[in-house]
Amino acid sequence: MSDFEGEERTLPFTEHNQGENVTVLLIHGAFSNDEEWNMVTPHLTNYHLLIPDLPGHGKASAIRPFSKHLAAKLIANTITQHAKDGKAHIIGLSLGAYIAIDLAVRYPAVVRDMFISGIKVLPILHGPLVPYLIWPGPWKARTMIVCAGKSDLLPTNDSEADTVHMRDIARTLNPETTAVVNLQIRHPWNRQKPELFAEAAKAWFEGREIPDDFRPL
């Protein structure tokens, strides 16, 4: 067991907009850190923001070995101790999307809604993080799953089939969960179109129509 797996342990995090009443927690992708979100956060000023570094990443590089379940546990602790009312809307990209799902499966009490992107289960992937990119059990949190559909010479798009399959898993517990595709965005669209990323997430959390660029799957 990791020394960081205690009941009260949390992850190091960056915090913004402490005076706001509702928390959004953003989960970065593999081999990144909290700075991945620095182009999105200026467009989320009406939310209290928590942006942790995942185990083995950034300011949490000493928290090893990496584990999806450990990451979810420490994020749940972080939300319980630091989010407003002990709950948060969740944003996750790439590996962060898979950890967000594990969080929602294992710790549903700390999750409001989720906005996740970057579902792509490919056999060409290799490395220590790949075992965690597998199909989960269903979860209750209302979730929008975004598929980035733009690809040129490099495979920078996500998988529509995998996105739909993940949606179907989630819908067994919450029929409001949905999946959409945008053919103008690439996998790391939080950097490509940060304002659109923030606006789409806010629209989902606030029950508004998302921008027209997104098509239901």
Q: Please provide the average confidence, as pLDDT, over all residues in the chain.
A: 90
Measured distance between the N- and C-terminal CA atoms of the chain, rounded to whole angstroms: 40
Per-residue pLDDT averaged across 29-46, rounded? 93
How far is it, in rounded angstroms, from Cα 28 to Cα 188?
10
Q: pLDDT over 90 for what percent of the chain?
A: 73
Which of 59-73, 98-112, 122-136, 156-170 has maximum average pLDDT?
A: 98-112
Give pLDDT tens digits for 89-98: 999 999 999 9
CATH match for 13-216 among 3.40.50.1820, 2.60.300.12, 3.20.10.10, 3.40.50.1170: 3.40.50.1820
Res. 7 pLDDT band, cuts 50 70 90? low
pLDDT at 127 over 90: no
Count of C-beta atoms within a 10 Å radius of residue 24: 28
Q: Where are the domains of the chain?
A: 13-216
- Provide the whole-model pTM: 0.90
pLDDT at 56 over 90: no
For residue 122, give the H/E element and its range.
none
How far is it, in rounded angstroms, from Cα 137 to Cα 135?
7
- Confidence at residue 77, expressed as pLDDT on a 0 to 100 scale: 96
